[in-house]
Amino acid sequence: MAEEFLKDHGCSCCNGHHDEDEGIKLNEVGTCSCGCGDDEDDEEESPLWTLIAGTVLFLITYLTNIIPEAVSLPAYIIAYLLLGYGVLREAGENIMKRRPFDENFLMAVATIGAFAIGDYPEAVAVMLFSRIGEAMEDRAVHRSRKQVAAAIDMRPEVVHRLGADGSTVTIPAKEAIAGDVVVVRVGDRIPLDGIVTAGESLIDTSALTGEPVPVICREGAEVLSGSINTTGVLQVKVTKPLAESMVTKILESVERAAARKPKIDRFITRFSRIYTPAVVAIAAATAIVPSLVTGQWHYWIYTALTFLVISCPCALVLSVPLSFFAGIGAASKQGILFKGGIAMEQMKHIKAVVFDKTGTITKGNFVVHQVLPADNRSADDVLCLCASAEQASNHPIARSVVAQACEQGLRLTEPSAMEEIAGQGLKARVGSHDVLCGNRQLLDGQHIALPAMDKVEYGSELYVAVDGAYAGRLVISDTIKDDAVDAIQAISRMGITTAMLTGDSQQAADYIASKTGIDDVRAKLLPQDKVNQMDVLRQQYGPVLFVGDGINDAPVLAGADVGAAMGSGADAAVEAADVVFMQSRVSAVPTALHLSRETMKIAMENVVFALGIKAVVMIAGFAGYASMWAAVFADSGVAALCVLNSVRMLYKK
């Protein structure tokens, strides 16, 4: 698929932190291909050896007498450049772009000021703590992404093309053209749209449609890429190349949805846009105004430089990323993998949690929900006859009927004859009885009269007739996950609205919502409809967290304020998400929300504490009671205390 150059939006690896004129270039799974998330590129920009070398040189110079005092200044300068080159470069680039007021600019000005007044260790320490904070957050994010990559199988990049002599050749999927015949093995995802030319199988389309019931495919049936072949080998004649296939269309929707995703800056960046110009203005006023009145330029310039050193956001630059490091680490222990700190930060502001249905709230499997016998038969009798007839079928619904009968300890009889009727069901000879099992169309075709009956609330109906007379019906349904009800109640107690977007029927969606307590339900939606409805929900409630697992969920996952995917879901969904729940439990959603709130609470505690101490020392400095060492404590000492506060997250249960 051709990559599209998109402007002014975020991505799962860089969160949109790029030059506005540069834009973001997305790859085929909707993540940024700019290279910002690539480990090798990161190593080139901020190699680990510079952090190690700068730290060792600083500690040797500051703590030992190995380096002579005469050359200590060059040693400090070298350590400063090794540790702070990235900050100085970023500050310079932002000045050229006319966006100077951020944490990099203030650290650069404050540390250069520290050199000017002879406080060399303080200048180097600021850069050291900054690098440590960045390294810790990067390590947490890198580990989280590694776990995601290890837990999923990537989308197949090849197809098995059938040759004229009956042999197969493996070729890249993008090289297949319309007219090629490809072999799709059992368990494989169908790679390209096409028409079945040979074979018969059940196709799982739930990742595309949200409908859990598999579809029978025989010769002449149309199949879509992204569906899963579950029971038999198929030969499929390609009708559309990869660039025009259903999966590609969905992935293109991911790109468009990502372009519409609200762009969010990191907390420290937003904070610095206000804090930095205020500090610079106060420092300039401190240096100039009293000097014009008293004429003591040297004293007030020294005071202003001391003020800059005190106000340097070293504690914030270290402790805020470390808070996210600890938060991401605590979440990963519970199987919740955040792909970046900004996703955790944004999750705190979520006002609505929107779920997909199949595979997210429900298990995506089938069980016998009810047995409704005719007046002259018992439930066990109907279940036993139906299960006996269904023993030879591989259909998931048939397997669920047999499993239920075995669970109840019923003795089944092997059918002496069995015939499947395409799209309707089957008929079988069980003992001395002729048994029909299938949909209503099957019984109508055999002219079997059905009594008046109530419509089932939820699930698929399997009708049973014995010896030409209606015997009863079984209700087969997907099951709600064990923890879904408690999880949704926990989300509601947080004051967050719950909603559901699904491609399933309105009746099925309403039933699940009524059982789980979901507030807002929207059903019968195609992938593009989900994106539009999510935008409506965002306007109605505020920032949205979407939780899904299918290929059809990838666009809405990419476009949500925060997208969360079940780890057992489709590759495209996992790739497009900001958060992955590896255990596929609904209870992970309120847990993630709680962890994000705790993380941001600790980060805010650090901010308030650091600014409070700095304010006290600043006031003391203006009054003539604070030394440079007080300034050092207000920066480095406070940073150390904030670090201790941040790591509390790692020990939270």
Active centre residues (catalytic): 356
Residue 449: other Cβ atoms inside 10 A: 10
289 alpha-carbon distance from chain centroid? 52
Measure the CA–CA gap between 605 and 281, rounded to whole angstroms. 26
Tokens 């619904």 appear where? 397
Task: Give strand ranges (E) for 38-193.
Answer: 158-162, 168-172, 181-184
Residue 459: closest CA among 440, 478, 472, 481:
478
Residue 216: closest CA among 459, 432, 523, 421:
421
Element (H, E) at 338: strand 336-338
Which residues, in sequence order, are CB contacts of 530 under 8 Å at separation 6+?
Answer: 501, 552, 553, 555, 556
Q: What secondary structure letter does DSSP report for 413?
A: -
Which residues, in sequence order, are CB contacts of 629 under 8 Å at separation 6+?
Answer: none
The answer to whether 565 and 592 are in contact (CB under 8 A) is: no
Q: Is 213 left (phi over 0), alpha (psi -120 to 50) or beta?
A: beta
Q: Please, where are the H alpha helices in 312-395?
A: 314-333, 341-347, 379-390
Measure the CA–CA gap between 359 and 343, rounded to whole angstroms. 23
Q: How far separated are the first and last CA of the chain, in Å rounded?
A: 44
Is the sign of the CA dihedral 322, 325, 331, 334 positive or negative? Answer: negative
Residue 436: closest CA among 466, 406, 391, 404:
466
The answer to whether 407 and 507 are in contact (CB under 8 A) is: no
Residue 62: closest CA among 123, 135, 130, 134:
123
Measure the CA–CA gap between 217 and 20, rounded to whole angstroms. 49
The answer to whether 53 and 85 are in contact (CB under 8 A) is: no
